[in-house]
A and B are shown apart, each in its own frame.
Chain A
Amino acid sequence: MRRLIEALVTGWWKRSPWGLLLTLAGVALGSGVALAVHLASRSVHEAFLAGIETLAGPPGHIIRAPAGDLDERLMLRLQRATSATTPLVPLVEGELRTLGEDPQDLTLTGIDLACPLDAWGEVKSLGDPDDLFAPAAVLWPEDGRADKFRRVMAGSRHLNLRVVARLLPSGRGPVQPRVLCDIAEAQRLLERPGRLDRILVRGALPNGLAEQVRQAGLVLEPAGSRAAVLDQMARAFRFNLSALSLVSVLLGTALTLNLLGRSFGARRSTMARIHALGASRRAIATLLLAEGAAIGCVGGVLGVGVGVFLASSTTQAIRRTVSALYGRTGPAWSQLETQDVFLAIACATLCGCVAAAVPAWRALSIAPSLTDLEHPPERQPPPWPHGWTLTGFILLLAASGTSAIAAASGTDRTWTNLVALASATLLASGTAAMAPLALRLMALTRTSRQHPWLLVLGLAARSLALGWRRHALAVAAIILASGMVLGMGTMVASFRGSVAQWAQRTLSADLFLSSRQGEGTREGGTLSPAIEGHIASMPGIRAVEATYEVRTQWRQRPVTLAGMLIRARAERGEMPLLEGRLPRSPDEVLVTEALWRHHRLETGMHLDLPAATGSLGVTVSGVVQDYASDQGQIFMAHEVFFRAYPGWLRPRSLAITLDTGADAGSARRAMLRALPGANALVCRTPGELRGEVLRIFDETFALTRAIEAIGLLVALLGLASSQASALAEERTLLVQFRWLGFSAGDLLRYALCQAWLATVTGTLLGTLLGLGLARLLVDVLNPAAFGWHLPFTLQPLRMALVLLILPAAGILASLGPARAIRKATDPGVVRP
């Protein structure tokens, strides 16, 4: 048996180490991407579970202000109005950054330290428990350092914190690093005396509390409802990641299949000889299966490393995105567990076995022979791939049918997502199934024979047509990868273009002022009521427009009610209407497109909105294009807003218009000098605000670029392996070329032309697939998932770049096999 293994397996791989490395790389990348997605998904999931617990402890409720923070006196009022035993837990939060060589972002959470701290982790006191209430005393997350004092930055101030206890993570404790301290101390450190971010209600909801909360103009919501919004986004991420990782895993398996197939072809003579000498076919087939399993297993071990690396990068990318969009609940790195390692290696081993199954099956019918076997002659003329073509057409027809169903399914997100996914899969499979036809059609090409390049190009085209079975898999991989890149890219670019255009149109004031507190979070902060009048009285200021916002629940979904000067904004072109008209009477409002789609609203429809005074009856007069919130907003005039929320006088933001010719930079500096508490304010020009919008947008989609790159890398590896395989099988033909007078350079050109043609074919079909996928994403998934439409924008530059770069990368990827075959077909080495 040892000799058999040496003759058939180890001997072969010693002779072609690059093939072995390429196979291992394919398995490692495939399993690595799958593991990375698994770990990243778990990180996100844990983050949201922890998010629920850290926000509310065990399942309960949250009381919060409709926007910004709330006064702690409200809590005392609620406590008095209900009962003394009502478990209300006040909470205040702020961001810290450690000082030193490796700064770390942390959240400082102020809570009542007399309450149970189980939900926050295990507390390990470093001294007297009473120290917990000492000035600047904090519970620091365990980080392996024994420092008793920590220098941190909160806002622009430097603080010296005293570590009196360690916080050890336990169970599903918070994954975001948090520093705990007593709420009074937190308010002092964060310079927010008397302010709370939210009040947690533990356990069952006391009688009458809901009514009291409503009367106080606050919002009461189940602990999970905020997290549900985030969880929805997490699910979108997981869906996106899983779909993309599936492509990578499939490409990795295809790569392994291709390489093992190639190695089988190259070892046919050896197998025939071994069989002739007495080894049974079953033993040979078993050996091939074991070889596949071993390659899968080793690839899986390497894949664990790849997976850990990719997962940490992916988690970072998701964390940045979540932090940019929602703040504070970004997922942290989830530890690799033993079962993850076993799962990754088992999957990779299975992948290797599946890839080895076809060669093993073929080995069961090998004939005994003691002479060198020729490759089986190709039938001439090469057969047309009728089966594949028919399958492709059927799949494409099914794709168009399902996409029509998805488009018609309206606002049911789950159903639309499922049907759209089915449609995308059918579209991708159908286009990939057309690869054999595209290759076979190359037999019809006619090139001039007068130029050496054109001569070899013609020969390479015919060779691809003849050997379409060998090349179809690699071309299909390129179709999928380039389609994915173009589809996602076109969707993202269309989205980005729409957002940029919308931001350009709707940000026409000279300066925008908002609160630094809550910066980057969906809730945001609010401004002092006096600030509007203060700014309006400054020299050089022509107008100040305040926007008031309240976030509340309506029809079981979050919604933002915004009071603004609608007509003035409309006159400046900041209210692009998609349907209807501007409000004419005091009870008319505008709704954003996302809300309009989600709730199937119509102009003229009467709505009863939640209000501090009970309810507010309004009529929809029009629908506004808006990309600020996928949850939807309702725009109303100031008088309508104050009718609903009479005590809500803190504006969310101010739009400031300067006198003609005034310099925005100078005006901003003067304004911030004159305003009290300027440190807590952010004043931006429209350009800066647009830049911020686009930065958040880019961070949101940074992740997809990484996955696209992996897909492309695997596809190119597939191309290189397919080229190596095809050239090895064409060796006799290539030697013939040499006898006929081809130089070694001609052979190199021939191999490169083959790679170029295969990549161009794949990329052209991939372009069509990409356009189809982009249409599906833009026209079907976006309206269903986010509630807004996007104008489909073709990306000719991106398409041209893909069409240029991918074939060039294909040529580079096959340079190795091409150079190898140039040497291997030295007429002095091999004779026909």
Chain B
Amino acid sequence: MEPGEWVAIVGPSGSGKSTLLHLVALTDRPDAGALTVAGQPTYGLSDAALTRLRRDRLGHLHQAFHLLPTLDVLGNVRLPLDLQGVPDREAERRARAMLEEVGLERETHRHPAALSGGQQQRVALARALVHAPALVVADEPTGNLDRETGRRVLTLIRRAIAFAGSGILMVTHDPEVAAAADRCLTLVDGRFET
């Protein structure tokens, strides 16, 4: 993938889309072959090194949002920065800027369960991009949203990754989502179709 590129992966169930995504997200290890993520070969890296790479260079976006219920919106968005040890004020400033980018600057102290599905996905997007990762891995990010909200979120994703300078690797079943990507790859039985 090129830096800042949006790649969609489509394919039938069982084709290996999620496995690929988890390999790229460094939550699974390949049995064979080599994997380079954000310019870093991952073979032989320890769990701690993989954790650091995931924390600093990757973001993630899920169908079920998976926001932390214990934190408010601002707390959720700035958490990756806190984990990186970014100074408090700087983390606050960047988190607020990211929330402004996704249109949630007025919702900073609300808790995730008090937000609509679209708003929750926007918070998840802000969290995925706040630390300007090289790559965001996204698993059906619009799967839980109605069509209209899904479209708005896709527009937002396009704008936000441009703002953050990140690439995005997105698994989807939705042809409309796939069409919004820069490039679309089809996976069948574990292999890309050309």
Chain A residues within CB distance 8 Å of chain B? 377-381, 448-450, 455, 459, 462-463, 465-466, 732-733, 736-745, 827-828, 831-832
Contacts and interface: CB of A to CB of B under 8 A. Distances in A.
B113 A449 contact: no
A832 B88 contact: no
B168 to A, nearest CB: 16
Nearest to A460: B70
B47 A743 contact: yes
Contacts of B17: none
B82 A380 contact: no
Contacts of A450: 82, 85, 87-88
Contacts of B71: 459, 462
Interface in B15-31: 18, 22, 25-29
B54 interface: yes
30 contacts: A377-B113, A378-B69, A379-B113, A380-B69, A380-B111, A380-B114, A449-B78, A450-B82, A450-B85, A455-B82, A462-B70, A462-B71, A733-B70, A737-B68, A738-B27, A739-B25, A739-B54, A739-B60, A740-B55, A740-B79, A741-B51, A741-B52, A741-B80, A742-B51, A743-B51, A744-B51, A745-B48, A827-B27, A828-B28, A831-B18
B47 A380 contact: no
A466 B82 contact: no
A102 to B, nearest CB: 58
Contact of A463 (B70, B78, B84, B111): B70
Q: Shortest 5 CB-CB distances between A and B: which pairs?
A: A741-B55, A380-B111, A827-B27, A380-B113, A462-B70
A832 B83 contact: no
A741 B68 contact: no
A726 to B, nearest CB: 12
B70 A743 contact: no
A448 B87 CA distance: 10
Contacts of B22: 828, 831
A459 B82 CA distance: 12
For chain B, what secondary structure do more than half of its interface residues adopt (helix, strand, loop), or is it mixed? helix
Interface in B118-134: 127
Which one of B47, B48, B84, B87 has the greatest number of beta carbons of chain A within 10 Å?
B47
Interface string B83-100: 111011001000000000
Contacts of B113: 377-380
Nearest to B111: A380
A738 B60 CA distance: 11
B27 A739 contact: yes
B56 interface: yes
B96 to A, nearest CB: 15
A743 B26 CA distance: 13
B83 A466 contact: no
A524 to B, nearest CB: 67
Nearest to A463: B70
Contact of B70 (A466, A740, A832): A466
A832 B22 CA distance: 11
B88 A449 contact: yes
Interface in B59-83: 60, 62, 64, 66, 68-71, 78-80, 82-83
A740 B27 contact: no
Contacts of A448: 88
Contacts of A466: 69-70
Nearest to B81: A449
A741 B88 contact: no
Contacts of B82: 449-450, 455
Contact of B66 (A449, A455, A732): A732
B54 to A, nearest CB: 6
B72 to A, nearest CB: 8
A736 B68 CA distance: 8
Given A740-B55, A743-B51, A828 B80 contact: no
Contacts of A732: 66
Contacts of A738: 27, 51
B112 interface: yes
B68 to A, nearest CB: 6
Given A378-B113, A831-B27, A744 B68 contact: no
A381 B62 contact: no
A448 B51 CA distance: 22
A729 to B, nearest CB: 12
A745 B51 CA distance: 11
Contacts of A381: 111, 114
Contacts of A380: 69, 111-114
B29 A741 contact: no
B29 A828 contact: yes
Given A448-B88, A739-B60, A741-B83, A832 B66 contact: yes
A455 B83 contact: yes
B94 to A, nearest CB: 13
Contacts of B62: 832
Best-surrounded residue of A378, A455, A743 (most CB of chain B within 10 A): A743
A377 B67 CA distance: 11
A662 B182 CA distance: 106
Q: Which of B52, B70, B85, B127 has the most chain A CB atoms inside 10 A of its CB? A: B70
A459 B75 CA distance: 10
A378 B28 CA distance: 29
A511 B51 CA distance: 75
Contacts of B111: 380-381
Nearest to B78: A449
A825 to B, nearest CB: 11
A350 B29 CA distance: 49
Contacts of B48: 743, 745
A405 to B, nearest CB: 45
Given A459-B70, A831-B27, 7 more contacts: A378-B113, A448-B88, A462-B71, A739-B60, A740-B127, A741-B83, A742-B83
Contacts of A459: 68, 70-71
B192 to A, nearest CB: 22
Given A380-B114, A462-B70, A832-B62, A740 B80 contact: yes
Contacts of B79: 740
Contact of A449 (B64, B69, B91): B91
A733 B68 contact: yes
Contacts of B80: 740-741
Nearest to B115: A380
A381 B69 CA distance: 9
Nearest to A741: B55
A744 B55 CA distance: 13
A679 B35 CA distance: 92
A450 B81 CA distance: 10
A736 B54 CA distance: 12
B83 A377 contact: no
Nearest to A739: B60
Interface centre among B26, B88, B111 (most CB of A within 10 A): B111
Nearest to B84: A741
A732 B70 CA distance: 12
Contacts of B51: 738, 741-744
A463 B56 CA distance: 25
Interface string B36-57: 0000000000011001101110
A745 to B, nearest CB: 8
Nearest to B91: A449
Contacts of B88: 448-450
A449 B83 CA distance: 8
A739 B25 CA distance: 8
A375 to B, nearest CB: 10
A832 B54 contact: no
Contacts of A740: 55, 79-80, 83, 127
A448 B55 CA distance: 19
B6 to A, nearest CB: 21
Contacts of A739: 25, 27, 54, 60, 66
Contacts of B60: 739
Contacts of B69: 377-378, 380, 466, 733
A742 B84 CA distance: 10
